[in-house]
């Protein structure tokens, strides 16, 4: 029996064994391995399915060169790197992998929050470099987390998981969405500036894309203030990275715990040098359990499509 042909935009190496598994069950055209991208796309002109990830995406340039494309299967919850407008115009289905990563992303948001507030990364370096043993001063005092005000930008699935954890720390929970939710009792702030002024900790958990680019701008960051801490596990471009770096350096912003950046994997040197920033290489969903569950959803969506059944987790 002939295997279905698939164009794979980039490796799914974040899920161990995923690339091999795809090859076992499909005829793979590996765009990311092609020396001649245009020739590879021409070879794939008859394919109906593209497999990609939030990192690799699927832009209009790919979609327009695949006249038979009917389905884009995305490994990841975010799909801002997929041209949804171009897909919708052609009636192309898109799926993602929601829900299965909510808890692990929320866990990392909290890890970054606590690590920034309590100088955990700096303390680790302090011990490893023998500065504690050699009595080379002391770490600066940290910031208490329990009982503070937690502001969440984007109270969706992941935002709700972050808020739930905040209740365990006896925190007041506030949030900003486009619209107030009627199913929660958390404090709703109608503007981001108001939320930042209210918050001790501001966690960014909104979607990426053009509509949210630099949503957390200089005014918002300034309102968060010299004692405030920003955590971003959403998308790098949602935050004005230049303004954030300048405010962290000047002390006008207290600290930042960041899993995402504007031009990944490049991180500004100025940001790397700041002692009040904790940095992670976009790893919020990077647990064995979550990555297995994400790839399982990819396989389920592919199986559903090729069987002529409704997708498991459609985006559009």
Domain identity same for 166 and 249: yes
188: part of which helix (H) or strand (E)?
A: strand 187-188
Q: pLDDT tens for residues 73-114?
A: 999 999 999 999 999 999 999 999 999 999 999 999 999 999
- Please list the alpha-helical segments (H only) found in the chain: 18-25, 37-43, 60-63, 84-90, 102-117, 120-128, 157-167, 192-198, 218-224, 241-250, 269-272, 288-306
Q: Is the peptide bond before 265 cis (omega within 30 degrees of 0)?
A: yes
Handedness of CA 271, 236, 216, 156 (dihedral sign): negative
5 is catalytic: no
Domain-embedded: residue 314 = no
273 in a structural domain = yes
248 and 123 in one domain?
A: yes
User: What range does the domain containing 209 cover?
Assistant: 102-279
Tens digits of residue pLDDT in 49-80: 999 998 999 999 999 999 999 999 999 999 99
Regarding whether 241 and 110 lie in a shared domain, the answer is yes
* Catalytic-labelled residue, pool 56, 235, 241, 262: 235
228 within 8 A of 200, measured Cβ to Cβ:
yes
Total tally of structural domains belonging to the chain: 2
pLDDT reported for residue 2: 85
Is 264 part of any domain? yes
What is the pTM assigned to this prediction? 0.94
CB 116 within 8 A of CB 256: yes
Q: Max CA-CA distance within the chain? A: 70
Q: Are residues 171 and 293 part of one domain?
A: no
In a domain, 316, yes or no: no
**Shared-domain flag, residues 170 and 248:** yes
- Asked, for residue 90, whether it belongs to a domain, the answer is yes
Mean pLDDT, residues 184-211 taken together = 97
What's residue 316's pLDDT? Answer: 83
Catalytic residue among 56, 119, 176, 282, which? 282
Rounded Cα distance between 38 and 192, Å, is 44
CATH number at residue 295: 3.40.50.720
Residue 176 belongs to some domain of the structure: yes
Same domain, residue pair 92 and 109: no
Looking at the domain assignment, is residue 58 inside a domain? yes
Q: Are residues 131 and 275 in the same domain?
A: yes
Same domain, 246 and 266: yes
Say whether both 116 and 211 belong to one domain.
yes
* 52 touches 301 (CB < 8 A): no
Mean pLDDT of 260-283: 97
Catalytic annotation, pick one of 24, 27, 136, 264: 264
Q: Does residue 207 carry a pLDDT above 70?
A: yes
- 235 counts as catalytic: yes
């Amino acid at each position: 029996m002939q295997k279905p042909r698939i164009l794979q935009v980039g490796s799914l190496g974040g899920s161990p064994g995923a690339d091999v598994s795809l090859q076992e069950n499909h005829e793979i055209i590996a765009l990311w391995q092609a020396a001649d991208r245009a020739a590879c796309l021409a070879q794939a002109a008859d394919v109906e399915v593209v497999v990609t990830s939030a990192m690799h995406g699927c832009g209009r340039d790919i979609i327009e060169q695949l006249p038979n494309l009917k389905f884009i299967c995305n490994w990841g919850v975010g799909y801002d790197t997929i041209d949804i407008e171009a897909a919708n115009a052609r009636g192309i289905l898109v799926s993602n992998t929601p829900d299965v990563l909510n808890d692990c992303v929320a866990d990392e948001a909290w890890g970054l929050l606590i690590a920034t507030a309590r100088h955990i990364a700096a303390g680790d370096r302090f011990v490893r470099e023998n500065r504690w043993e050699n009595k080379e001063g002391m770490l600066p005092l940290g910031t208490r987390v329990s009982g503070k005000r937690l502001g969440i930008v984007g109270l969706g699935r992941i935002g709700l998981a972050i808020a739930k954890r905040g209740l365990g720390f006896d925190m007041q929970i506030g949030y900003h969405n486009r619209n107030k939710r009627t199913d929660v009792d958390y404090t709703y702030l109608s503007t981001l500036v108001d939320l930042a002024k209210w918050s001790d900790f501001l966690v960014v958990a909104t979607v990426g894309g053009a509509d949210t680019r630099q949503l957390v701008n200089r005014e918002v960051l300034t309102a968060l203030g010299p004692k405030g801490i920003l955590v971003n596990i959403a998308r790098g471009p949602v935050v004005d990275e230049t303004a954030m770096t300048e405010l962290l350096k000047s002390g006008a912003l207290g600290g930042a715990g960041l899993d995402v950046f504007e031009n990944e994997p490049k991180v500004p040197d100025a940001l790397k040098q700041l002692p009040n920033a904790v940095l992670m290489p976009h790893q919020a969903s990077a647990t064995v359990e979550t990555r297995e569950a994400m790839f399982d959803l990819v396989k389920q969506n592919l199986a559903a499509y090729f069987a002529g059944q409704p997708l498991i987790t459609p985006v559009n």
